[in-house]
Amino acid sequence: MCPLVFSCDFLLQEHVELHLLGQHSGQRSFQCPMCSAVYSNSFCLQEHVELHFDHELSRDQSGSPHSDLMLAKELQHKEELKRKQEQAQLERQEFKKLQRQFGLDGRGGYRRQMERSMERAVASGHLAPVDFHLKKADMMESLASGVDDGSSRTQGVIRALGDYYQTECRDSVQVWLAVDTDHYSSSAGDKGWGCGYRNFQMLLSSLHRIDAYSSVLQEKTIPCIPRVQRMIEEAWKEGLDPQGASHFSKRLQRTQAWIGGTEMYVLLTSLGISARIIDFHQPTGSKNTHPHLFDWVKQYFCQSSKSSSLSPRLILTHLPPLYLQHQGHSRTVVGLEQRKNGSLCLLLLDPGSSSSDTRKLLSRETRLTAVQFVRKFPRNLKHKQYQLIAVQGVLSPEEKQIRIFNSRTLSAERTP
């Protein structure tokens, strides 16, 4: 239909269709200035002429009769390469975000974060240089020994809560409290990522006060966070939770990596202590609440055969507290309150609460306000999922080996 030649069948088909369209549509005609093709509208003519120029340009650039096909393939290859590069760049950015979120981005661990915090305090005038060196020396001594220095610990919290419910609280009919548990708050060295480690310290402080557990715990001190990280790495080497170990590349020391319920289970199992992981994987009440979680906690505290009652409504159990995990944070359940209207209220110790705020529980003048930060009702726990870790006895050597073997496919008890 015209002398134009193409080496690409797609371009040829498009060109011929424009010829045919020009022959069978409309009455007014527009003739191509480069060949004999005639079109009924200017739009079709413009597309046709552009094909002429595209063809001539490709011939001028290569001088090859197949240059239009080669050019098309080259452009396609470049576009595909660009797309893959952009995708790889996006994946690298997302991976770095995840690394930073979970403390695996090489910023250093507890020691480095503490040093940076003290250096900023010196630069701002809030810490004298001589105090900086004293604090750093104390930190290095703690890290060398593997024992927590106790600077963020608050003792006597359970006794203070018992005193409050015995003498001041009038709107509850029954209160259960765990065995005496020390509160450990996050410090400058682990702020933003240390909640799991601090909750382990709280749980361990309670186990030291229960004869059945203290007899199997070889170390009678509370480990510092770097030591806890080393304990988890040692548990992985025993064969516990290989999938979890792979997630962290088998390394926690000198990182700011978060730990959760699975690592708590690994720690306890490695110490010869039996633990359960219970998943509350969806809300069971209105407005995204978890009443089933509260019922489970009540059943846990009611099971205690060894308990003492200081008043008709206050029961001091000999049970360790529970580890409570949700997305982004964890806390320690040290008790449960049942109110006159039948509603339940968890009593939580939060590592995010400072030592100074926690110590307000110890004074009757400030206790009424401070206890409000400990009490949590169903309306206060509205994350989609929660997880509890419950201690339930001591493992025999044979039982521990079975737990290690089964942890290759570690799974939680799902409820309901």
Q: Report the number of distinct structural domains present in the chain.
A: 1
**Listed range (95-99, 340-344, 354-358) with the worst mean pLDDT:** 95-99
pLDDT for the residue numbered 53: 64
Indicate if 171 belongs to the active site: no
**Cα torsion at 89, 94, 100, 102 (round to 10°)?**
-140
- Residue 308 — pLDDT band, cuts 50, 70, 90? low
- Give all strands (DSSP E) within 55-194, no chain letters: 153-154, 172-177, 183-184
Confidence of residue 338 (pLDDT cuts 50, 70, 90): very high
> Quick check: is 10 in a domain?
no
Positive or negative: CA dihedral 37, 40, 44, 50: positive
Helix, coil or strand: residue 266: helix
- pLDDT of 87 > 70? The answer is yes
Residue 387 lies in a domain: yes
Tokens of 127: 């810490």
Residue tagged active-site, from 208, 292, 318, 329: 329
Catalytic residue among 182, 190, 241, 350: 350
What is the full DSSP assignment across 18-58? HHHHHHSS-SS-EE-SSSS-EESSHHHHHHHHHHHHHHHHH
In a domain, 70, yes or no: no
Q: Is residue 37 included in any domain, yes or no?
A: no
Residue 416 in tokens: 């309901």
pLDDT score, position 198: 98
Q: Residue 387: which CATH number? A: 3.90.70.130
**Is 120 domain-assigned?**
no
Catalytic residue among 195, 241, 290, 345: 195
List phi, psi (to 5°) of 74: -65, -45
Residue 239 lies in a domain: yes
Q: DSSP state, 147?
A: B
What is the tens place of the pLDDT at every residue in 162-191? 999 999 888 899 999 999 999 999 999 999
The tens digit of pLDDT for each residue in 371-396 reads: 999 999 999 999 999 999 999 999 99
Mean pLDDT of the chain: 87
Residue ranges making up the domain that contains 386: 152-304+311-414
Is residue 302's pLDDT more than 60?
Answer: yes
Is residue 293 within 8 Å of 413, Cβ to Cβ? no
Q: Residue 14's pLDDT is what?
A: 74
In a domain, 275, yes or no: yes
pLDDT tier for residue 350 given thresholds of 50, 70 and 90: very high
- Whether the full predicted model's pTM is greater than 0.85, yes or no, is no
**169 catalytic residue (yes or no):** no
For residue 76, tell me if it sits in a domain.
no
Does the annotation count 224 as an active-site position?
no
* pLDDT in the model for residue 15: 76
